[in-house]
Amino acid sequence: MLIGFTYDLRKDYLAMGYSEEDVAEFDSEGTIDAIAGAIESLGHTVIRIGNAWELCRRLVAGEKWDLVFNVTEGLRGRSREAQVPAICELYNVNYTFSDPLVSAATLDKAVAKRLVRDCGLYTAPFAVVNDLDDLKTVKLGFPLFAKPLAEGTGKGITANSKINTPDELQKTCAELLKRYKQPVICEEYLPGREFTVGILGTGHDAKVLGTMEIELIDASNNAIYSYESKELCETQVRYTKVTGKVVAEVEKLALRSYRLLECRDAGRVDIRCDKNGKPCFLEVNPLAGMHPSHSDLPMIATQEQMPYSELIDTIIKSAMNRA
């Protein structure tokens, strides 16, 4: 097939003046080369398109592809991950991963949690803070955990994200609102084990690929899986394959959440246990990172003896089955 490849390249945005944190979710040249190389190893021809603006330009010029392999995160707004899927649907182009509705609903962590909760799945109680006046109506039990409503890669998560008092809540929310210019989601803190579950497929065909437990090597700084620890995961984080009863419960919750939220082709669901060891839905990533050795989904594939090219092939076949 002729496969168009859309992505946000970090160096392009750094050249525009954006900071390292601004582009934390964007891809390095190494990741783009790895994905393109894997697609080509399967016998396809890859056309490197780039970001959403370039996709628009090429579509207007009349270019066509059999499929767009999309890993574009987008730059602004809580619907930024929906931009390329929406453009593809406008031009009737087949593409990988979730549709615009799912992409937008899952990036907004509160929307995703409401959908999961209202369908009877367990997630920690939470509140959305649009401004500091909203803190007057937050009725949650301390400790709490606060983070930006629609960010990924741990952006906005630091040691201050774990909150023990109303004063800390006020201070942290004020800082996050000012820095990220979006609402803050506050949820009751979950002190238990943390897992991330890789899932492949769509609808009833979706299956769990595998599960990793996430543990910080240095448990200081409130043992928070933060932006910094994710960026330095090789030295700060321990990823472990685990078995046992808790994993079965974690994977059941993750797969039900993935299907309920109607994710497609591949994704990752983050789960953390409460004080009683009960797994709770944290969030879902329907556009998971694809660096072969640094991103969680390919790491899970490697853990389960699935070659990187096979992971890419599975995603492509899932997308083409829908087409």
The domain that contains 183 carries what CATH number? Answer: 3.30.1490.20
Residue 165 and residue 53 share a domain = no
Helix (H) or strand (E) holding 252: helix 245-260
Q: What is the pLDDT of residue 234?
A: 75
Q: What is the pLDDT of residue 227?
A: 66
| Mean pLDDT, all residues of the chain | 95
Residue 171 and residue 26 share a domain = no
Residue 77 and residue 133 share a domain = no
Residue 229 and residue 110 share a domain = yes
**Number of other CB atoms surrounding residue 119 within 10 Å:** 11
The domain that contains 62 carries what CATH number? Answer: 3.40.50.20
Residue 261 and residue 115 share a domain = yes
Residue 256 and residue 112 share a domain = yes
Of 136, 154, 188, which residue is a domain's last?
188
Residue 110 and residue 174 share a domain = no
Residue 194 and residue 140 share a domain = no
Question: Is residue 323 very low, low, confident or very high in pLDDT (cuts 50, 70, 90)?
Answer: confident
Residue 208 and residue 284 share a domain = yes
Residue 296 and residue 239 share a domain = yes
Q: Which pTM does this prediction carry?
A: 0.95
Instruction: Dump pLDDT digits (tens) for 61-119.
Output: 999 999 999 999 999 899 999 999 999 999 999 999 999 999 999 999 999 999 999 99
Instruction: Dump pLDDT digits (tens) for 276-303.
Output: 999 999 999 999 999 999 999 999 999 9
Residue 134 and residue 113 share a domain = no
Number of domains in the chain: 3
Residue 260 and residue 111 share a domain = yes
The domain that contains 222 carries what CATH number? Answer: 3.30.470.20
| Enclosing domain of residue 142 | 126-188
